[in-house]
Amino acid sequence: MAAFTVSELESMIVVNMGDYKTARGEKKLMTKDLGSCIGVALRDPHTGVGGLLHVMLPHHSTTKGEHFIAAKYADTGLDEMISTLVQQGAKRDHLVAKIAGGAHMIRCEQVPESTDISSRNVNAVKEKLAELQIPLLASDVGEYFPRTVVFEPGSGTFRILTPGKAERRI
């Protein structure tokens, strides 16, 4: 995995599991250890406003007594992050997306890859983006390895870091 300089690390905003963060311009957003989870980067290329969402589950379903966190889910997390991006100056109809993650971290004969949580997460994110009419410019999903991603809202660069592999940019 690529090494970061001290100044680069100091400038990064860390996005935890089931959360999102937004930034503008040269700021960098990072989320680590995407296994079956999905990192969704949205940006308005005209304003340089963007956000990174760490989706854990495909859809929210109400459970009594559950503490609801919208960002954990593809459906509610994207809605919430888009609302925040628009409040920060992004134009809704200018948003574009890139995604990474959705790795098949556990192989199990009883659960086919097409129906495991990683595939359901990928499908939910893609379906929600299509519903919202947000173009998906690039993706790096599936396979059998975790990913760390760094998103630069100003340039749109989406770096994908994986142990033992060369850094990718999409």
Which two structure tokens, joined as six digits, stand for 17?
A: 């599991």
CATH number of 6-160: 3.30.1330.200
Is residue 139 over pLDDT 90? yes
Band of pLDDT at residue 116, cut at 50, 70 and 90: confident
- 112: phi > 0 → left, psi -120 to 50 → alpha, else beta; which? beta
Separation between Cα atoms, residue 6 and residue 78, nearest integer Å:
31
- The rounded distance, in Å, linking the Cα atoms of 166 and 2 is 8
Residue with the two structure tokens 């304003």: 47
More confident residue, 144 or 90: 90
Alpha helices in the chain (DSSP H): 6-11, 74-87, 117-131
Q: Please give the model's pTM, rounded to 2 decimal places.
A: 0.91
Strands 38-44 and 49-55 turn out to be antiparallel
Residue 162: pLDDT over 60: yes
Please list the active-site residues: 37
Q: Which of 9-13, 71-75, 80-84 has the lowest mean pLDDT?
A: 9-13
Q: What is the mean pLDDT of residues 67-95?
A: 95
Residue 109 has φ and ψ, to the nearest 5°, of: -65, -30
